[in-house]
Amino acid sequence: MTEATRRPLPAVPLAAKEPSGKTIPARVVGVFSRGGAHFAVVTVSLLWTLPSVGLLVSSFRPAQAVSSSGWWTAFQTPFQFTLDNYQAVLTTSGMGQGFINSLLIALPATVLPTMIAALAAYAFTWMRFPFRDTLFIIIVALLVVPLQMTLIPLLKLYSQLGITGTYPAVWLAHTGYGLPFAIYLLRNFFSALPKDLLESAFIDGASHLTTFLRIVLPLSLPAIASLVIFQFMWVWNDLLVALIYLGGNQSVTPMTLRISSMVSSMGSSWHLLTAAAFISMALPLGVFFALQQYFVRGILAGSVKG
């Protein structure tokens, strides 16, 4: 070996390492950008909530105070709050019976499409049958079909069956109107479940029904809870479907129809209308807050697949 080969190679200077972390200006910009986003979200939330707060305060004020001053003056002395508005609405205006009717309409009209959609979504995701994808595309296409196109045909069919003005007419209508979105939402969530988990269950001899009840449903609670929130609020706040299929049957009239009749008959009685409106808002708010922990996860159902 010659002297040239034994000579060590000259050291190559390493590239200067970039400082770890962000610079001070970048950190300042990041703090202000996050603070601005938080400020915007809080501001929009407060502005969105303000009308509801005003409605709640006005519902506890006497008629003279509601008609003569704004709701924000209720916190000035002397305080004027009363429960007479709620008493009058629940007794004389029939809102108590309307509340019960709305419950009898909303609960079955929420449970039925949720159960049917869960079974259909499982079939579209994990079962093989002819024209599966074609049928799913047709169901998704029904999302863009206006429900107004179905009012007259369904009303004629209900008249022939003799169920116009009854609870089953509204239950079936809301079930049909809610199924396309429900199947689409749950199918996306079911397709994001671990495939190996279900294949292991099938290898162990589990049937489709057992897999659906013991594996798929427990793992799909976020999506199901979100669907329950959507469907319940749609049915609870519905006016058109109830007006068409229930007609003038006062024994099954929900709160939305009773509030609509109150607006036309007692348009100047703002104190009663505010109480009636807040009664109709109370239960959907309770349902939302009770299931809000699942809401965001259910909204993002199937958007990200592992």
How high is the pLDDT of residue 205? 85
Q: What is the pLDDT of residue 113?
A: 95
- pLDDT the model gives residue 168: 93
Distance between CA atoms of residues 113 and 270, nearest Å: 37
Q: Which two tokens stand for residue 266?
A: 């007692």
Residue 101 CB-density burial (10 A; 0-12 exposed, 13-18 middle, 19+ buried): buried
Are residues 237 and 256 in contact, defined by beta-carbon separation less than 8 angstroms?
A: yes
- Closest by CA position to 211, among listed 125, 142, 285: 125
- CA distance linking residue 276 with residue 260, whole number of Å: 10
What's the pLDDT tens digit per position in 157-211? Answer: 999 998 988 999 999 999 999 999 999 999 988 988 888 888 888 888 888 888 9
> Exposed/middle/buried for 207, CB within 10 Å: 0-12, 13-18, 19+?
exposed
Say if residue 296's pLDDT is above 80.
Answer: no
At 19-39, the pLDDT tens digits run 445 566 556 555 556 667 778
Is pLDDT at 299 greater than 80 in this prediction? Answer: no
Q: Which two tokens stand for residue 109?
A: 């009209």
CB 30 within 8 Å of CB 22: yes
Neighbours of 224 (CB within 10 A): 22
Whether pTM exceeds 0.85: no
pLDDT of 245 higher than 80: yes
Q: Enumerate helices (H) and strands (E) in the chain, giving the number of each.
A: 15, 0
Do residues 221 and 295 make contact, with C-beta atoms less than 8 angstroms apart? no
DSSP string, 112-175: HHHHHHHHHHHHHHH---TTHHHHHHHHHHGGGS-GGGGHHHHHHHHHHHT-TTSHHHHHHHHH
